[in-house]
Amino acid sequence: MTQVSRRTVLNSAGFAAAGLALPADSLAATAEGDETARLLGQSRILLKRAIVLTLDPAVGDFASGDVLIENGRIARIAPNIDASPDSAFIAELPNRIIIPGFVDTHSHSYQGLLRSLLPSGVVDPDYNRDIQNNLTLHYRPEDVYAGVLITALAMIDNGTTTIVDISQIAHTPEHSDANIRALQDAGIRAVFAYSRGAPGSRYPDDLIRLRTTWFNSTDQLLTVAMATSVDPKTFEFARRIGVRSVLHIRVDSGPLLALGRAGLLRPGDEFIHCTHLTPEAWALIRDTGGRTSHSPPLEMAMGHGYPAIQDCLDHGLRPSLSSDHSATVAQDMFGIMRTAFDLQRLAILQRAMRKEQNLPPLLKPRDVLSFATIEGARCAALDSKIGTLTPGKEADLVVLRADRFDTWPRNNAYSTVASLMNPGHVEAVFIAGKAKKWRGSLVGVDAARVLGMVEQSRNEVLRRGNFTVPLLG
């Protein structure tokens, strides 16, 4: 493959990269650059005077609170924490809301090259024909790198600090390596779910090599799982090497029940979409310790079926949320939370109009924010590390501006975040205590270079696949 080194795209020194290259004659801009440099140079960071939604009932929420980060972890959250400017980077953040980073539990990130390419496509036949069975097959390793990189950077920009990346592009070991390297270079926390690539790939055996090459520590941002099919052999392999399974399951519960009868399901397995499952299949997922991932905007737009948020709740599980891909809808967790909120309420309120009794409760903004954070962390098997703002956990958090014309005045913080905000409100993002976005800009990213690289790869993949999409019309 063409080697794409980190240095050419992202400057590991951070703020000095071209993406944040600042005009020399601008005092304000220079001050901002200095501030980012100080932030990156400090292992103690104190974020002061924000509304803090911890999502941890034991810690509680704060109308005005300070969050102290030390060596990548949340050290303390309290109404007032003192520190001297010599020993910590201190930022006053009035009228901001701090939340845990979003966890998107299902992203085919390599498809970052294919954004808006199926403007009105449905899963079958359009997606299967054009993306699964055509364009995906034409990716070279450098195209995988470009697609995953821009998806991961966009996720961070939008407040998503963790993704479950279901690769589906593992045509060769070099393709898998490029996928993982892009996740690593973007600096996102991710579960790499190794998948079957094109016919002739080394699935699943290459997972053994990938594990020792990339995932030999549990103390890192990247962890590994295996994207299985309903073929029991794939589950047997995952069980043999002791990794979690990630499975798309939509239409037919039969094969899932067979896997259950064969004793092949394990706690921590992830089930995606779940739009047509029988009560027996839901009970099986719950009783074996599985978790589910739902992509309401994508499922509604592309014909996957009615999003199964209520089915999940009815069977005693809590759903996580995901985007799937951006060929047709946005990978934006605010929009996904809002769709889940609106859809569940519509369904329940319609039943109420029909005079049905004993209805389930309507979702509240806090519910959908928990789906997008702690339930996502549980689904990704990362809830001991992230998902809530809890002292001791790694500091994956997002700072949101609540003093905009479309959110002011502050009345209810959960509703402000889940019902009023969009990615434009994301001011700062930390992953494991490292600033990835600060004062509205990604840190250390050469934006022009990323855009150029992605466009070049997009052109090449579309040319090889003999595919065009009209810019207009």
Given the rule CB under 5 A, which residues bind Zn ion? 324
Q: What's the min distance (Å) between Cβ of 277 and Zn ion? A: 16
Residues in a beta bridge with 92: 48
Closer residue to Zn ion (CB): 66 or 130? 130
29: left (phi over 0), alpha (psi -120 to 50) or beta: alpha
Q: What's the min distance (Å) between Cβ of 322 and Zn ion? A: 8
Core vs surface per residue 216-228: b (16+ CB within 10 A) or e: eeeeebbbbbbbb
Which residue is nearest to Zn ion, using beta carbons?
A: 324
The secondary structure of residue 132, as a DSSP letter, is I
Residue with tokens 């951006």: 326
Closer residue to Zn ion (CB): 32 or 324? 324
Say if residues 304 and 279 touch (Cβ distance below 8 Å).
no
Q: What's the min distance (Å) between Cβ of 324 and Zn ion? A: 5
Residues in a beta bridge with 74: 69
Q: What's the min distance (Å) between Cβ of 107 and Zn ion? A: 8
Closer residue to Zn ion (CB): 296 or 433? 296
Helices 254-261 and 279-287, axial angle in degrees (round to 10): 40
Length of the chain: 473
Asked if omega into 100 is within 30° of 0 (cis), the reply is: no
Q: What's the min distance (Å) between Cβ of 173 and Zn ion? A: 22
Say if residues 136 and 441 touch (Cβ distance below 8 Å).
no
The secondary structure of residue 440, as a DSSP letter, is T
Q: How many CB atoms lie under 10 A from the CB of residue 406?
A: 10
Query: C-alpha angle 224/227/231, rounded to 5°?
Result: 140
Closer residue to Zn ion (CB): 324 or 367? 324
Q: How many CB atoms lie under 10 A from the CB of residue 423?
A: 18
Closer residue to Zn ion (CB): 311 or 324? 324
What is the residue-wise DSSP string for 256-291?
Answer: HHHHHHTT---TT-EEEE-TT--HHHHHHHHHTT-E
Closer residue to Zn ion (CB): 130 or 324? 324
Distance of CA 237 to the CA centre of its chain: 26
**Main-chain phi, psi angles of 389, to 5 degrees:** -95, 90
Q: What's the min distance (Å) between Cβ of 373 and Zn ion? A: 21
Closer residue to Zn ion (CB): 380 or 400? 380
Q: What's the min distance (Å) between Cβ of 131 and Zn ion? A: 11
Residue with tokens 């789906």: 371
Q: What's the min distance (Å) between Cβ of 217 and Zn ion? A: 28
Closer residue to Zn ion (CB): 20 or 249? 249
Q: What's the min distance (Å) between Cβ of 176 and Zn ion? A: 17
Closer residue to Zn ion (CB): 143 or 324? 324
Q: How many CB atoms lie under 10 A from the CB of residue 113?
A: 26
Question: Alpha helix (H) ranges present in 288-332?
Answer: 296-302, 309-314
Closer residue to Zn ion (CB): 36 or 109? 109
Q: What's the min distance (Å) between Cβ of 147 and Zn ion? A: 15
